[in-house]
Amino acid sequence: MVLWPSEPEWITLTQGRLLWWPDAFAAEADAWFARLRCEIPWQQHRLRLFGRELDEPRLSCWMGEAAYRYSGQTRAPEPWHPLVAEIGRRLAELCGQPFNGVLLNLYRDGRDSMGWHADDEPELGAEPVIASVSLGAARCFVLRHPGSGERRRLELGHGSLLVMAGEMQHHWQHALPKTAGIDRPRINLTFRRLAVG
Ligand SMILES: O=C(O)CCC(=O)C(=O)O
Ligand SMILES: [Fe+2]
C-alpha cells in the first residue's frame, strides 16, 4: 500500500525540463493496462537499418487526428480509442495544453526496446510538450545530453507520468534499453501535439 503518494516534481536539466510523477495514475493503472492490452490494434512496423529491413523491437499504434511522419515514414492515425482519448484529456488539463496524437508502444518483454532518438520532428514545434504514461512492467528510461555528456536514468513504473518539456528534444536524446530478466509486458503512451495543415 502506498501511504504517501508521491507529488509531481519538476526536474530542471541543462536545456530542458521534466515533470516526474511516479504515482500519477496508480489508482487507474491496472484497469487501463488490461483494456489497452486487448483493445488497441497493435501493429508490427518495420525499420530500415543500414539498408536492411527489420521488425521494430516492439508493437505500436499511432492514434489521433494527424498523420505522423518520422524516420522517413508516414503513418495514418487510428481513430481515438475512448479510453486513450480520456487519458489525453486528463493530461491536457495537467499540462495546460491539448494533445492531438499519441504513439502507443507495447514492449512485449525485456527484449523489446526503443533506441536513442529525440522527438524533434518539425511538426512538434520548438518546445514540444510530450506526456508519457507507463503501464505494466517497470522499465528503465535513459536520457543523454550529447553537448555536455550529462545522463539521467528514471525507472518508469506502472501508472507513472513523465512529461518532457522546454527545448529538450533539440538537445537531449532518450531511449528504452533492452533489459534482461523482464518477462512481463509494458505499455507506454506518449501524447504529442502536432501542427496540422
Ligand atoms: O517507452 C518509452 O518510455 C519511450 C517511448 C518514446 O520515447 C517514444 O514513443 O517516442
Ligand atoms: Fe521518444
Helices 29-39 and 82-95: crossing angle, nearest 10°? 130
Residue identifier of the C-alpha nearest atom 10 of ligand 1: 119
Question: Which atom of ligand 1 has the smallest separation from the CA of 156?
Answer: 3
CATH superfamily of the domain spanning 9-43+52-192: Alpha-ketoglutarate-dependent dioxygenase AlkB-like (2.60.120.590)
The reply to whether ligand 1 has any atom less than 6 angstroms from the CB of 190 is yes
- Out of 45, 47, 174, 191, mutate this one to test ligand 1's pocket (max ligand atoms within 8 Å of CB): namely 174
Supply the pLDDT for residue 135: 99
Tell me, using a 6 A CB cutoff, whether residue 60 lines ligand 1.
no
**pLDDT at position 66, please?**
87
pLDDT at 40: 98
How far apart (Å, rounded) are the C-alpha atoms in residues 158 and 169?
A: 24
Nearest residue (by CA) to ligand 1, atom 3, is: 188
The domain segmentation of the chain, as residue ranges, is 9-43+52-192
Is the entire prediction scored with pTM above 0.80?
A: yes
- pLDDT recorded at residue 23: 95
Residue 197, C-alpha cell as written in the block: 495543415
Q: Give the model's pLDDT for residue 74.
A: 85
Q: Which positions of the chain have pLDDT values less than 50?
A: none
Is the reported ipTM for this assembly greater than 0.90?
yes
CB atoms within 10 A of CB 132: 23
**How confident is the model at residue 124, as a pLDDT?**
93
CA torsion, ordered 154, 156, 159, 161, to nearest 10 deg: 50
Q: What is the chain's mean pLDDT, rounded?
A: 94
Residue to substitute in 58, 112, 114 for testing ligand 1 pocket (most ligand atoms within 8 angstroms of CB): 114
pLDDT tens track for 103-161? 999 999 999 999 999 999 999 999 999 999 999 999 999 999 999 999 999 999 999 99
Closest CA to 41 of 61, 66, 21: 61
